[in-house]
Homo-oligomer: A and B are copies of this chain.
Amino acid sequence: MDPYNRLAELKLELPPPPQPLPTFVMAAQTGNLVFVSGHIARKDGKPWVGQLGVNMSTQEGQLAARAIGMDLLATLHGSLGDLRRVERILKALCLINSAPAFTEPHLVANGCSELLISVLGDAGRHARSAFGVAQLPLGACVEIELVVQVRNG
C-alpha cells in the first residue's frame, strides 16, 4: 500500500509540516527509530482549543485527533523525505485535555489511530496509551506523540 496513493484515494491532502521551534525539534532519529514530538491539534492553522467533557464532544475530539494524525504524517513526510520509509508506527501517546469526569480518552484517540491505519495499512497498527490530562499547550484539546520504525532512505 503506497501512502501517497492512499491519501489521494481518501481525498486527503498533507498539510505543510509544522514549523521548527527554537527549543525543540519535531522529530529526532536514532538508527531506525524516530521519536516524534507531541503535536497539538490545529484548526485553520491555529490551536484547536477545547476541553473534553466541558465544551467539546467525543466526536469533535475524534476529528481533532484525526487532524493531528494528518499533521504527524506531514512531519514524517517532511522529516524522512518519503512516507514510504515508514515501516511501522510503533507507539502513540495520546493526551486528551479533559474534565475530571470525562472517561472516553480512548475513543478520542481512535480518531488518530484510525487515520494512521487507513493511510498506512498494517504499518499503521501501533501500541498506544490514551489518558486525560489537566491541560495542554495553548489550551489545545488533544496532543499526540509517536515512536516510529523507519527504513533506511
> Footprint of B on A, CB under 8 Å?
23-28, 30-33, 35-38, 51, 53, 87-93, 95, 98-106, 109-110, 113-114, 117, 125-139, 143, 145, 147, 149
Task: Pick the residue among B31, B37, B105, B110 that contacts A135 (CB under 8 A).
Answer: B105
Task: Pick the residue among B28, B53, B87, B117 that contacts A90 (CB under 8 A).
Answer: B28
Top 10 nearest A-B pairs by Cβ distance? A38-B129, A132-B135, A132-B134, A106-B137, A35-B91, A24-B128, A23-B113, A37-B127, A103-B139, A28-B127
Is there an interface contact between B131 and A143, defined as CB atoms closer than 8 Å? Answer: yes
Is there an interface contact between B28 and A135, defined as CB atoms closer than 8 Å? Answer: no
Bound CA span A35–B128, Å: 9
Is there an interface contact between B23 and A110, defined as CB atoms closer than 8 Å? Answer: yes
A30-B88, A37-B129 are contacts. A137–B103 as well, Cβ < 8 Å? yes
A130 to chain B, nearest CB (A): 6
Task: Pick the residue among B38, B114, B132 that contacts A23 (CB under 8 A).
Answer: B114
Bound CA span A138–B106, Å: 8
